[in-house]
Amino acid sequence: MDLGNLDYIEIFRSSFTLMILLVCSILAVAFMIERWLFYRRAKVDSTRFLSRIKMSLENNNFQEAVSTCERDRSPVAAVLRVGLLNRALPYHQLDELMHTTREEERVKLERYLGVLGTLGNSAPFIGLFGTVVGIIKAFHDLAASGSGGPTVVAAGIAEALVATAAGLAVAIPCVMVFNYFMRKVKNIAVEMEAVSKRYLIILTNRDVEAASGRKR
């Protein structure tokens, strides 16, 4: 066998581990695209968005503020919507309710990331398993043929190492994208918490001003 001209299609057909890695790569790409589209929709200028909500509150137009949140599909908007709909609750209860909503939104943000993390961790081991099986097969073929010498073994090992390379090819992008997405989740989570606190301060100040106006 010419080592410079490996038949990769035949190697894929003869190796069940490579078929597994192929399925893993398809799943990884699908989840990467789905998450990228999701995070793209989740992106929002939280400062500007909160300013719009504050302006609606100053005009006593709560329905407009709620509608603004409903039109936006970001997690920040979802948290503010809950805060607006339950604005009559005491401060600590509203804070707890918005905290619960933030946790629910974070679960949505982290959906499928576990799959990418698992693929990134397990793909190298799947490839290594395929390599070990391939090397065992190469030595078995050498023992069965009784001839061919190192060339036969070298050719078999070369084919077996394709599995390790495939495992790394799947794992490296998964790990990189997983870390990138987790960073986005963390940033969005910080935005949700910051906006929640600012909204509560705005609501509290508004109630204080309203109470002062009634006393006068």
Quick count: other Cβ atoms within 10 Å of Cβ 182? Answer: 15
Residues 6+ apart with CB under 8 A from 185: 106, 109, 110, 113
Q: Tens-digit pLDDT profile for the chain (216 aa)?
A: 444 455 656 666 667 888 899 999 999 999 999 999 999 998 888 889 999 998 888 888 888 989 999 998 899 999 999 999 998 888 899 999 999 999 999 999 999 999 999 999 999 999 999 888 888 877 777 777 666 566 667 767 777 788 899 999 999 999 999 999 999 999 999 999 999 999 999 888 776 555 555 555
Task: State the Cα angle at 211 between 192 and 57, rounded to 5°.
Answer: 40
Can you give the pLDDT at residue 15? 75
Cβ atoms 4, 150 nearer than 8 A? no
Q: Answer for the pair 52, 34: CB distance below 8 angstroms, yes or no.
A: no
pLDDT the model gives residue 210: 54
CA 195 and chain centroid, separation: 22
Block residue for tokens 């709560």: 62
Task: Return the structure tokens found at 165.
Answer: 């390379």
Q: Which two tokens stand for residue 124?
A: 């190298």
* Domain definitions of the chain by residue range: 3-208
Residue 108 has what pLDDT?
Answer: 94
